[in-house]
Structure 1
């Protein structure tokens, strides 16, 4: 009987050395990506910037900003060739846990209405639609709205 080694992903802090690969991955994933400078600024501002690795390959990342009592997920991405395998859900669970560790009472995010896969993930994880920001995102045809979503992180027992 043979044993199959299961490689587990790790989440670690983003470093300066990761930035070119992260920016390239963002450019592969979105028509209007963040720049390397956006990621560098986030790191230097003290945001929670993490890298999601599987067998020394970056398969995703997230950027979360903390403020008094709340966290705001600014960017979360899974590599296009790794999507649909559950990695986004696992990374979201990590982000939610991290926000709770940081004593956030709520986690906020914006998502494009056209991003049905992400919206479905957020819905199944308990996020509520709170509002819509008109013309928030750049789009091929001009601008696209943002759906503002919130997850309550306080355990009501």
Structure 2
């Protein structure tokens, strides 16, 4: 069974059809997806701008992350759950949609950047987290994150134009 066969089975399922054809469910999912995106990316934007040294230099990075972490993860959870349901509703269409795959690729790279940063530098963060100017690796991670999350958002918003 190929990936397209699986996508076709999802597309033809009753739940996919019900979501896709619902007058209220699909638009509600889209709205919740955008709210989750605004919460998660908006707060990541603040932390990335702190990492790059462009904003909030006087706020210790550790304090910023501790205060925003719950909301970032809640926004991500909402975004990923609703994104999965939106994919479920239009699986076959999205399978052939280039901006969708570019969005997914950028999201994977952004997550890998965050994971690498956490594993490589996270244990040292307490040494420099209160500094106004952070190490080059932290600044680089911030720029990479900003780039990939911005591209993921742009590609995500362009998906409907390539259906």
TM-score between both structures, scaled by the size of structure 1 = 0.26
| Larger proportion of helix | 2
| Larger proportion of strand | 1
Q: Which has the higher contact order (CA 8 A, sep 6+)?
A: 2
**Greater C-alpha Rg:** 2
